[in-house]
Amino acid sequence: MAKYSNKKCRFVILISGRGSNMQKLVETCNNENWSADISAVISNNPKATGLDWAKEKGLNSISLDSSYYSSRDEFDRDLSIEIDKYSPDYILLAGFMRILSYSFVKKYYGKLINIHPSLLPAFPGLNTHSNAIKSGVRIHGCTVHFVSPELDSGPIIAQGYTNVFSYDDVKTLSERVLKVEHKVLPSVARWLTLSEIMLDEQDKVMILNNHNGLFYL
């Protein structure tokens, strides 16, 4: 059974662009009065419009320009320093378009959670929507998973899916999948605030209280 306490669950959210998943998560957290604290929003892109939105909402907004760093390890070191200032329970990658170093992932393993725009293990990496259309699949969607050192391969927490129609192009499909993402990520984040997601020693995800980790739009 989940253990409940008065302690708020602390999140740091990483973004690279407009941060629509971050925005939906923050709005849902506020509207539903979660026992959570969005401690900071950090972007590797100083021009990310999501940072402006976060600032307007009074959130700590930090920019670390990844183009200034000569190596991934150097950037990840400074990113880790910023993250550790907030002692988060979880770090949510919401459209964070960087591959993280092995040492970074190992340091935060079990706390790092990513949302990926495909039904993993199908279509890891980039261009997921065009790849889905080219492959002829009938369903497509998103996956929320714990981050592991191997790209887009960590233990899966939840997935959301939608139909792929014959008339779909990348734009229409991506817009529909984004609506699914806006359902799945806030749901997972809320379960985290309630201590209803567990990762055991065998890296198996357990979701308590009979939550269904599959969503459809």
Residue 171 tokens, joined: 């734009």
Ramachandran quadrant class, 127 (left: phi over 0; alpha: psi -120 to 50; beta: rest): left
**10 labeled part of a ligand binding site:** no
Distance separating alpha carbons of residues 212 and 196, to the nearest angstrom: 12
**17 labeled part of a ligand binding site:** no
**100 labeled part of a ligand binding site:** yes
Closest CA to 148 of 123, 132, 124: 124
The values of phi and psi at residue 172, to 5°, are -65, -40
**20 labeled part of a ligand binding site:** yes
**138 labeled part of a ligand binding site:** no
Q: Which of 116, 140, 145, 182 is catalytic?
A: 116
Catalytic (active site) residue 116: yes
Q: Dihedral (C-alpha) 196, 197, 200, 203: value to the nearest 10 degrees?
A: 170
Distance separating alpha carbons of residues 12 and 24, to the nearest angstrom: 15
Residues annotated within the binding site are 19-21, 72, 97-100, 114
> Binding site for (6R)-10-formyltetrahydrofolate, residues?
72, 97-100, 114
Please list the active-site residues: 116
